[in-house]
């Protein structure tokens, strides 16, 4: 079934209940690929769905009584949204593609689509009759081609990836969820920001400022993943402002892996020091943990403590892999510390600190020791936890 968002504006997307890895992102609640129709004298479809989900899109269009399309607006060419553009063009050969110059090239490069395109840029308008669509370019939120579409008279923002979350549900709107469920929804929104959007935070800030400058008002924010915001719009915008400006909570995340439990024992020793200061923390063994969740905790925490043994002169592979992932997402404004056990050379801790330096983290301490930490070593580790707890309270 289609879902009405506003009179003559419909959700016609697809629900992917069972995707568990979205190019590595652990989607434990699945996701949705949201497409929208704006119907007037002319009918516009805004974004499509991932290839393989066309049947859901087409059956919802049919249910909405849409048997022809005048425009197909492509906000973003990534495969989860533009993967069915070719199928839509085959089903509706007369449809006019509408997108920006960069996305036009993307449609050619990624899909071999060379159909004539109506090129739009920020501020351009497309009249459908009584309803008007306007566009704002949002490069790097999420890709260089990204833009958002705004239904002017209805005050409906269709921002594609921005404000999304990976969450499959039979419910479409934020006000259909209980308060308890909304806690999970906002956490999933944070997870999505941390694992997809964080690296583009400066661009997000620019877009938020641009939206304010243009004076756009929203009754509805309908992203291309997850739920549609119409009740908690100020809350999700406030969170985007906070996440994009590096605001974090008074908590610490301890991330480690261990070969013979020496580094693991150290992680718990660090935690004892944090406990003494009555500060919140979470501990993650990277061998057993969902990196997507760990990354979320990195973004949400002021303090990041990383432990790794040295293996063949390097950071232990699981820790090195996570740090590579984390570095790519460019978390910022963190206090950091490193620790690790070693047998004879002990390079891992120094290499972790080098990564902290690349991210401009404030490294407040480091600790390494041969095999099992002795009494002095255990005391140093506990002290590291205490110092981090004290540091984040002044941050
Ligand atoms: Fe949901 Fe950048 O695609």
User: Has 2 been annotated as catalytic?
Assistant: no
Residue 283 confidence class, pLDDT cut points 50, 70, 90: very high
Compute, in angstroms, the gap from residue 373 CA to the centroid of ligand 1: 46
pLDDT for the residue numbered 77 = 97
Closest C-alpha to ligand 1, atom 1: 161
pTM metric for this prediction? 0.96
Q: What is the chain's mean pLDDT, rounded?
A: 97
Q: What is the dihedral of CA 51, 55, 56, 61, to 10 degrees?
A: 110
Token look-up 């009249």 returns 127
Q: Which two tokens stand for residue 189?
A: 């929104």
Model confidence over 121-176: pLDDT tens digits?
Answer: 999 999 999 999 999 999 888 899 999 999 999 999 999 999 999 999 999 999 99
CA–CA dist 362, 358 (Å, integer): 11
CA–centroid distance, 3 to ligand 1, in Å, is 22
Q: Is 145 in the pocket of ligand 1 (CB under 6 A)?
A: no
Residue 212 has pLDDT above 90, yes or no: no
The response to whether residue 76 sits with its C-beta less than 6 Å from ligand 1 reads yes
- The Cα-based distances of 83 to 20, 57, 80, 124, 144 in angstroms read 19, 12, 6, 25, 17
CATH, domain 3-245, list 3.40.50.10420, 2.60.40.10, 3.60.15.10, 3.40.50.1000: 3.60.15.10
Whether pLDDT at 79 is above 90: yes
Give yes or no for residue 40 CB within 6 A of ligand 1. no
DSSP 193: I
- Residue 245: pLDDT over 90: yes
Fold topology of 252-392: Rossmann fold (3.40.50)
Domain positions in the chain are 3-245, 252-392
pLDDT recorded at residue 118: 98
Active site residue 16: no
Centroid of ligand 1 to alpha carbon of 142 (angstroms): 6
Q: Is 63 a catalytic residue?
A: no
- Residues 94-115 have pLDDT tens digits of 999 999 999 999 999 999 999 9
Nearest to 331 by CA among 137, 190, 235: 190
């Amino acid at each position: 079934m289609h879902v009405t968002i506003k009179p003559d504006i419909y959700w016609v997307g697809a629900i992917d209940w069972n995707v568990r890895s979205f190019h590595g992102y652990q989607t434990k609640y699945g996701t949705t690929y949201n497409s929208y129709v704006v119907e007037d004298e002319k009918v516009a479809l805004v974004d499509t769905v991932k290839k393989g989900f066309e049947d859901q899109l087409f059956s919802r269009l049919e249910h909405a009584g849409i048997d022809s399309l005048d425009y197909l607006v492509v906000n973003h060419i990534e495969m989860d949204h533009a993967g069915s553009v070719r199928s839509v063009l085959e089903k509706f050969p007369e449809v006019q593609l509408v997108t920006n110059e960069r996305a036009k090239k993307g449609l050619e490069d990624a899909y071999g689509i060379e159909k004539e395109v109506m090129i739009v840029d920020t501020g351009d308008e497309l009249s459908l009759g009584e309803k008007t669509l306007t566009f704002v370019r949002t490069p790097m939120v999420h890709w260089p081609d990204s833009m958002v579409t705004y239904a002017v008279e209805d005050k409906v923002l269709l921002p594609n990836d921005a404000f999304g979350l990976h969450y499959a549900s039979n419910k479409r709107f934020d006000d259909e969820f209980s308060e308890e469920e909304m806690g999970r929804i906002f956490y999933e929104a944070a997870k999505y920001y941390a694992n997809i959007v964080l690296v583009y935070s400066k661009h997000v800030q620019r877009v938020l400022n641009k939206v304010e400058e243009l004076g756009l008002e929203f009754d509805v924010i309908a992203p291309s993943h997850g739920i549609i915001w119409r009740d908690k719009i100020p809350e999700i915008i406030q969170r985007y402002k906070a996440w994009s400006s590096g605001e974090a909570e008074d908590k610490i995340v301890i991330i480690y892996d261990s070969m013979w439990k020496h580094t693991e024992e150290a992680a718990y020793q660090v935690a004892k020091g944090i406990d003494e200061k009555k500060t919140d923390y979470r501990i993650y063994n990277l061998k057993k943990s969902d990196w997507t969740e760990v990354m979320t905790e990195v973004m949400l925490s002021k303090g990041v403590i990383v432990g790794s043994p040295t293996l063949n002169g390097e950071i232990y592979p699981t820790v090195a892999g996570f740090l590579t992932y984390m570095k790519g997402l460019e978390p910022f404004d963190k206090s950091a510390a490193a620790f690790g056990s070693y047998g004879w050379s002990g390079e891992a801790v120094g290499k972790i600190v080098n990564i902290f330096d690349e991210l401009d983290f404030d490294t407040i301490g480091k600790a390494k020791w041969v095999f099992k930490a002795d009494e002095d070593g255990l005391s140093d580790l506990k002290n590291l936890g205490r110092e981090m707890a004290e540091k984040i309270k002044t941050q």
